[in-house]
Amino acid sequence: MISAEYLAYRIGTSTAVLACVSVLTFGMMYLTPGDPARAVLYHQTGQQPSAEAVAAFRAEHGFDDPFPIRYWHWITDVVQRDLGESYRTGRPVSTMIVDALPATIELAIAAMAVALVIAIPTGVASAVYRGTWIDQASQLFALVGVSMPNFWLGYLLIIVFALHLGLAPVSGTGGLSHLVLPAIALGTGMAAIVTRLVRTSMLDVLDAEYVDAARAKGTAERIVVYKHALRNALIPVVTVVGLQFGFVLNGAVVIEIVFQRPGLGMMLVDAIFARDFPVVQGVVLIVAVLFVVTNLLVDLSYRVLDPRVQFGGEHA
Amino acid sequence: MSTVAGVLSRLESKRLTTIARTAVSELRSNRLTLVGALIVAVLGFVAIVGPLIVPYEPAAQDLSNRLQGPSLAHPLGTDQLGRDVATRLVYGARVSLGIAILVTALRVLIGTTVGMVAGYAGGWVDELFMRLVDVQLAFPGLVLALVVAGILGPSLRNVMIALAVVGWTTYARVVRGSVLTIKERKYVDVARLVGTPRLRLFRRHLLPGVVNPVIVIATLNLGTVVLATAGLSFIGLGAQPPTPEWGTMLAGGRQYVRSAWWIVNAPGVAIMLTVLGFNLLGDGLRDALDPKQQARVEEV
């Protein structure tokens, strides 16, 4: 179990990290070469804005205030769930995120499911038949899987399954059929990483004494593998799969563009090209919050699953 | 003093030969590592020599020969502007490898410095740097790189800056960990007590202990940087047309996947082989140089 002390410590550090993250996120617009206000107007109209237009825009959006004051205005709104309005459309950023988030979460979950469905049987087979061609084939899969750019895999899937076989739609969102190809494109790389991990973890467990004991007792090998070994082997897998959430968000950006799925990733890229700073800041902040919270939950669940993990360890 | 320095430098060069020898024997004993080394060697050769021998210019358009399939004149076909895909692929190797090496070098430089200073100094310095790492790790790497590169403005240079800035944390953590162990050793105490200047202490006593893990991570990192650069260029943030960059080429061919599948697939295969080469080589080097190190989950 988790002590209240540890819980408080972890929540405290995560909150502190998020506070720093919010400052960085807000400060990012200052990386724009030149005047951000001018850049925004230039992207909106396609021509150099007049000095009066720039001045008016700066006044309207509080650009003339010093950074700490601007940040304070922004963050006090953020904690009240107001992320500002898009410079382009005037729509509230929070509404835009609420609209786009489900498509991305759906993709992320489907990709993780694909990854686990491929990785667990492959990794277990690889460990149980260690050194045989099965093991070599699955290791080769893992190597190729991590080396393949997911956007290229996306096009390969489109060419084969959508264009030639006509089994799935090329792009967009909708039912399950729209989700299959993007999920495979995104999940394969993760499957490769998790396969390796399941294999290593399974090999460790199969060498453990309690597995020998189960065998000595005369337990059938199948039960030894699935009941005794696999359950314990999956503990570290939980951690890595959870930590892969960031990887999924990384990949989702690119995959959403390949399959033209209107999600958080596509929204972010559009906003970046349009210098729509409130949208960029909102998406980055939400992504970081999701990421930090997932990592926290993963860490805590790991401790519940495996009581041997020390409490309050170094950078636990 | 000069003889001591001589002995030390001889010891150091002996150490380097040992590293090289272990690496070579690993290459011999592990076929997959050999394949990786071979891929990387061929790629390096193509990147350096290739542009000198290909018959076409990478940006030379031939609009009467658009979207031609593979043929003797164009072994990998032509793209939407009639440019030779094979030629662009060869020039692209130069771009991708060049960026990968530069970005990785920057990451090693930043990460190793931060890790050594944090580990050696300890106290609030260590605390400060490690919290900085935590904050950085709160963003998914590629998303952060995307935003930084995007706001700086689309260009290869800005992609390199963004990737260097987001990727140094792994090095910092590993190096810090090694330094924490090494600095407890007797010889470091002795060196400190006899008044060895700090820079020299770092170079002579701390740096050698972190070289192996850094080499391993850097090799694997070369592959991930190739992937990330291609991904960002694919989105439109990196290399701008007509630069022959693999991700940009892939993006340019996406409207033609139905009629001209080679435009998308040629750079796709090139990226995959490159990353595979670095991964195989990195895995082999890890087994040889740093066997305790677990398989690392790389992000960007």
State the Cα–Cα distance between residues B163 and B105, nearest whole angstrom.
11
Which region among A99-113, A181-195, A288-302 has the lowest average model confidence (pLDDT)? A288-302
* Number of domain units in chain A: 1
pLDDT band of residue A237 (cuts 50, 70, 90) is confident
- pLDDT given for residue B15 in this prediction: 66
The answer to whether the beta carbons of residues A248 and A106 sit under 8 Å apart is: no
State the Cα–Cα distance between residues A14 and A25, nearest whole angstrom.
16
Angle subtended by helix axes B261-289 and B2-29, to nearest 10:
120
- pLDDT given for residue A315 in this prediction: 40
State the Cα–Cα distance between residues B278 and B256, nearest whole angstrom.
30
State the Cα–Cα distance between residues A278 and B109, nearest whole angstrom.
34
In the stretch 90-129 of chain B, residues with CB closer than 8 A to chain A read none
Interchain contact B291–A (C-beta under 8 A): no
| Contacts by residues A312-316 (CB-CB < 8 Å, ≥ 24 positions apart) | A312/A5, A312/A6, A312/A9, A315/B130, A315/B134
State the Cα–Cα distance between residues B250 and B229, nearest whole angstrom.
12
- pLDDT given for residue A311 in this prediction: 45
- A308 has a pLDDT exceeding 70: no
- pLDDT given for residue A313 in this prediction: 40
Token pair recorded at residue A57: 């825009």
Q: Which of A32, A143, A257 sits opposite B279 (nearest CB)?
A: A143
| B145: nearest Cα among B155, B158, B129 | B158
Tell me the residue length of chain B. 300
pLDDT digits (tens, 9 = 90+) for B172-192: 999 998 888 888 888 888 888
- pLDDT given for residue B3 in this prediction: 59
| B181: nearest Cα among B114, B110, B127, B115 | B115
User: The domain that contains A155 carries what CATH number?
Assistant: 1.10.3720.10
Residues 6+ away with beta carbon under 8 Å from B103: B160, B163, B164, B167, B225, B229
Q: Which residue of B has its CA nearest to A282?
A: B147
pLDDT digits (tens, 9 = 90+) for A31-45: 888 778 888 888 878
Q: Which residue of A has its CA nearest to B133?
A: A17
What's the Rg (C-alpha) of chain A? 24
Written as one letter, the residue type at B103 is V
Token pair recorded at residue B260: 């001209």
Would you say residue A25 lies in a domain?
A: no
Residue B239 belongs to domain spanning: 2-299
- pLDDT given for residue A279 in this prediction: 94
Which region among A15-29, A276-290, A299-313, B270-284 has the lowest average model confidence (pLDDT)? A299-313
- A148 has a pLDDT exceeding 60: yes
Q: Which of A29, A146, A196 sits opposite B151 (nearest CB)?
A: A29
CB pairs under 8 A between A and B: 141
* Number of domain units in chain B: 1
DSSP string, A136-164: HHHHHHHHHHHHS-HHHHHHHHIIIIIII
pLDDT digits (tens, 9 = 90+) for A238-276: 777 877 777 788 888 899 999 999 999 999 999 998 889
Token pair recorded at residue B240: 């701008």
- pLDDT given for residue B295 in this prediction: 45
Q: Which residue of A has its CA nearest to B32?
A: A140
Query: Cβ contacts (< 8 Å) between A292 and chain B: which residues?
Result: 138
Global confidence as pTM:
0.87
Verify whether the Cβ–Cβ distance B268 to A24 is below 8 Å. Answer: no
Average pLDDT, chain A: 86
Given the structure tokens 């033209």, which residue do they identify?
A: A260
User: The domain that contains B233 carries what CATH number?
Assistant: 1.10.3720.10
The answer to whether the beta carbons of residues A247 and B299 sit under 8 Å apart is: yes
pLDDT band of residue A211 (cuts 50, 70, 90) is confident
Token pair recorded at residue A8: 């408080």
Calculate mean pLDDT across residues A15-26.
91
ipTM above 0.85, yes or no: yes
Per-residue pLDDT of chain B (300 residues; tens, 9 = 90+): 455 556 656 666 666 677 677 666 666 667 888 889 999 999 999 999 888 888 788 877 777 777 777 887 788 888 888 788 888 999 999 999 999 999 999 999 999 999 999 998 888 999 899 888 988 888 888 899 999 999 998 899 999 999 999 989 999 999 998 888 888 888 888 888 888 888 888 888 888 888 888 999 999 999 999 999 999 999 999 888 888 899 999 998 888 888 888 889 999 999 999 999 999 999 888 888 876 655 444 444
- Which residue did the predictor score with more confidence, B52 or A226? B52
- pLDDT given for residue A267 in this prediction: 94
Written as one letter, the residue type at B243 is T
- pLDDT given for residue B298 in this prediction: 43
pLDDT digits (tens, 9 = 90+) for B60-83: 777 777 777 788 778 888 888 878
CB atoms within 10 A of CB B103: 25
| B277: nearest Cα among B220, B232, B229, B225 | B220
- pLDDT given for residue A312 in this prediction: 42
Would you say residue A199 lies in a domain?
A: yes
Shortest Cα–Cα distance, A52 to chain B (Å): 24
Residue A159 belongs to domain spanning: 93-305
Query: CA neighbours within 13 Å on the CB side: how many for B69?
Result: 3
Would you say residue A40 lies in a domain?
A: no
State the Cα–Cα distance between residues B108 and A154, nearest whole angstrom.
32
Q: Which residue of B has its CA nearest to A257?
A: B235
Token pair recorded at residue A11: 């929540």
Phi, psi of B185 (to 5 degrees): -70, 150
Query: Cβ contacts (< 8 Å) between B234 and chain A: which residues?
Result: 149, 151, 254, 257
- pLDDT given for residue B72 in this prediction: 77
% of chain A residues with pLDDT over 70: 96
